[in-house]
């Protein structure tokens, strides 16, 4: 059995390589009898160049920014630093250094290509504007929060987010109406007390 | 930044437990977005790292194919027995409609995308037709990044265990061997030099 064989996702039994990439049909897992279709790619058995073999820099060689004694083999596409095999991080078509990757993964980065997660303030604002309507007294606390979130984060750029403005505007209008509703109720209550 | 032009939407998204999953095609990677509540988690699968796309035919198609007409029949009979004939017709009709849609959508499946470090379930691909359409869109990009799969090459590389991954431990010197200590010392000297 080849050690690169794709395992059945249900039972981790190795699937026969002869049936990979067949145009039609499927193979049956020898263990769980599931019908499986496998599309395999060369990355399955080809080794990626590992950074463990960074060469020592000669007198005429440029050295790595992070390891002076190592020969520079790449240039960071973001900051332009020379990098040895050990420090170069291939990210798709780009090569980055560790510090640039760390910077791009933070939310403060202007690039959004590498962020691992994101908080959606537009959804939070809309949720806080709509969900408490089920039990109206809660809006006394949530409506000001909605207005705060919308005003505070209205200009925040969100990655892969659609209809942000629409959500923000809807949340703002609802929040404003809820606040106005409470104001009217308080004024009416105060007026009622004065009249009494 | 609202939906950068370098990303292309692949499907409408689908519920997976408590989150909504969507997948987009980027310039050099697939972007899997898992949205749960107000948080979004992004996973990137670079074309050159994807090892395989696996699809398993699930039993949902057969199970729902049997359950839905049965439910339609039971509910129809139940509501009919109450005397509400129109309501019985509507109830049965709705379930029959669901059954027809289910049958027309085709076989159900579960899909996984494998890279060197993980095997990610793609919850948005629940039908074989959707999975095939997905693969038709992605395959040319993956082949452009990696080249064609070769079974011969895989056999040549992978039929033997990788010796580099399992280093052989040094031999334990025998106690009863009088030259063991001397050999060990000379080896150590060699390493130091």
Q: Give tens-digit pLDDT for A65-94.
A: 998 888 888 999 989 999 988 888 888 778
Q: How many C-beta atoms lie closer than 10 Å to residue A101's C-beta?
A: 15
User: Residue A51: pLDDT above 60?
Assistant: no
Look at A31-35, A157-161, A176-180, B34-38 and tell me which has the smallest mean pLDDT: A157-161
pLDDT at A61: 84
Distance from C-alpha of B39 to C-alpha of A121, rounded to nearest angstrom: 9
pLDDT at B1: 45
Cβ separation B51–A40 shorter than 8 A: yes
Query: With contact defined as beta carbons under 8 Å apart, do B63 and B51 qualify?
Result: no
Q: How many C-beta atoms lie closer than 10 Å to residue A72's C-beta?
A: 22
Residue-wise pLDDT for B59-73, tens only, equals 999 999 999 999 999
Per the prediction, chain B carries an average pLDDT of 82
- Provide the residue count of chain A: 196
pLDDT at B186: 44
Residue of A nearest to B56 (CA): A36
Q: What one-character-per-residue DSSP string does A99-141 give?
A: HHHHHHHSTTSS--TT--EEE-HHHHHHHHHHGGGGGGGGHHH
Residue-wise pLDDT for A96-105, tens only, equals 999 998 888 8
pLDDT at A128: 94
What the block records as the tokens of B56 is 């398993």
Q: Find the mean pLDDT for residues A30-42.
A: 89
Distance from C-alpha of B93 to C-alpha of B71, rounded to nearest angstrom: 11
pLDDT band at B170 (very low <50, low <70, confident <90, very high): confident
Q: What one-character-per-residue DSSP string does B98-129 give?
A: HHHHHHHH--BEEEEEE-SS-EEEETT--BHH
Query: Which residues of chain B neighbour A38 with C-beta distances below 8 Å?
Result: 52-55
Interchain contact A34–B (C-beta under 8 A): yes
What the block records as the tokens of A123 is 């959804």
3-state secondary structure of A50: coil
Nearest-by-Cβ selection for B149 from A5, A20, A91: A20
Positive or negative CA dihedral for B169, B171, B174, B180? negative
User: Residue B48: pLDDT above 70?
Assistant: yes
Residue in A92, A94, A153 to test binding to B, most B beta-carbons within 10 Å: A92
pLDDT at B164: 56
Backbone angles phi, psi at A9, to 5 degrees: -65, -25
* Of B91 and A54, the one with more pLDDT: B91
Query: Which residues of chain A neighbour B161 with C-beta distances below 8 Å?
Result: 3
User: Residue A110: pLDDT above 60?
Assistant: yes
Query: With contact defined as beta carbons under 8 Å apart, do A5 and A19 qualify?
Result: no
Q: How many C-beta atoms lie closer than 10 Å to residue A18's C-beta?
A: 8
Residue of B nearest to A9 (CA): B112
Interchain contact B135–A (C-beta under 8 A): yes
Cβ separation A43–B39 shorter than 8 A: no
Query: Which residues of chain B neighbour A116 with C-beta distances below 8 Å?
Result: 41-42
User: Residue B188: pLDDT above 60?
Assistant: no
The proportion of chain B whose per-residue pLDDT surpasses 90, expressed as a percent, equals 40
Interchain contact A140–B (C-beta under 8 A): no
* Of B9 and A195, the one with more pLDDT: A195
pLDDT at A31: 87
Q: Find the mean pLDDT for residues A131-151.
A: 94
Q: Find the mean pLDDT for residues B38-58.
A: 92
Q: Find the mean pLDDT for residues A179-189.
A: 95
- Distance from first CA to last CA of chain A, Å, rounded? 91
* Of A61 and A24, the one with more pLDDT: A61
Nearest to A117 by CA among B44, B20, B41, B2: B41
Cβ separation A45–B41 shorter than 8 A: no
Q: Strands B29-36, B39-46: parallel, antiparallel or unpaired by DSSP?
A: antiparallel
Query: With contact defined as beta carbons under 8 Å apart, do A84 and A93 qualify?
Result: no
User: Residue B160: pLDDT above 70?
Assistant: no
Nearest-by-Cβ selection for A38 from B52, B115, B139: B52
Interchain contact A52–B (C-beta under 8 A): no
Min CA distance, A30 vs chain B (Å)?
Answer: 13
Per the prediction, chain A carries an average pLDDT of 87
* Of B74 and B186, the one with more pLDDT: B74
* Of A195 and A158, the one with more pLDDT: A195
3-state secondary structure of B133: helix
Q: Find the mean pLDDT for residues A135-140.
A: 92
User: Residue B85: pLDDT above 90?
Assistant: no
pLDDT band at B193 (very low <50, low <70, confident <90, very high): very low
Interchain contact B82–A (C-beta under 8 A): no
User: Residue B192: pLDDT above 50?
Assistant: no
User: Residue B165: pLDDT above 60?
Assistant: no
Q: Find the mean pLDDT for residues B109-138.
A: 91
| Helix axes B85-105 and B60-81, enclosed angle (nearest 10) | 170
């Amino acid at each position: 059995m080849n050690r690169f064989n794709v395992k059945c996702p249900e039972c981790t039994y190795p699937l026969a390589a002869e049936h990979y990439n067949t145009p039609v049909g499927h193979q049956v897992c020898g263990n769980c009898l599931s019908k499986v279709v496998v599309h395999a790619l060369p990355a399955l058995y080809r080794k990626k160049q590992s950074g463990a073999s960074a060469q020592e820099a000669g007198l005429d060689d440029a050295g790595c920014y992070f390891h002076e004694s190592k020969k520079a083999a790449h240039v960071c596409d973001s900051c332009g630093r020379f990098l040895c095999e050990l420090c170069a991080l291939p990210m798709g078509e780009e090569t980055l250094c560790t510090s640039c990757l760390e910077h791009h993964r933070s939310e403060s980065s202007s690039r959004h290509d590498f962020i691992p997660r994101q908080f959606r303030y537009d959804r939070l604002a809309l949720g806080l504007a709509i969900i408490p309507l089920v039990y109206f007294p809660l809006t006394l606390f949530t409506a000001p929060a909605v207005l705060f979130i919308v005003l505070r984060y209205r200009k925040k750029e969100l990655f892969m987010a659609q209809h942000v403005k629409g959500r923000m505007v809807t949340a703002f209008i609802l929040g404003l109406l809820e606040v106005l509703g409470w104001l009217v109720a308080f004024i009416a209550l105060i007026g009622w007390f004065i009249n009494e | 930044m609202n939906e950068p032009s370098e990303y292309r939407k692949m499907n409408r998204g689908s519920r997976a437990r408590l989150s909504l999953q969507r997948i987009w095609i980027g310039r050099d990677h697939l972007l899997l977005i898992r949205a749960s509540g107000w948080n979004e988690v992004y996973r990137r699968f670079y074309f050159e790292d994807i090892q395989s796309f696996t699809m398993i035919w699930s039993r949902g198609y057969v199970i729902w194919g049997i359950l839905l007409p049965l439910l339609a029949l039971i509910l129809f009979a139940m509501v009919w027995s109450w005397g509400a004939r129109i309501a019985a017709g509507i109830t049965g009709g709705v379930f029959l409609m669901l059954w027809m849609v289910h049958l027309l959508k085709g076989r159900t499946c579960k899909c996984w995308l494998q890279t060197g470090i993980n095997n990610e379930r793609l919850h948005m691909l629940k039908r074989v037709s959707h999975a095939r359409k997905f693969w038709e869109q992605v395959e040319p990009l993956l082949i452009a990044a990696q080249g064609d799969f070769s079974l011969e090459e895989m056999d040549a590389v992978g039929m033997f265990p990788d010796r580099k991954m399992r280093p052989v431990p040094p031999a334990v010197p025998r106690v009863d061997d009088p030259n063991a200590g001397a050999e060990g010392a000379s080896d150590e000297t060699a390493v130091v030099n």
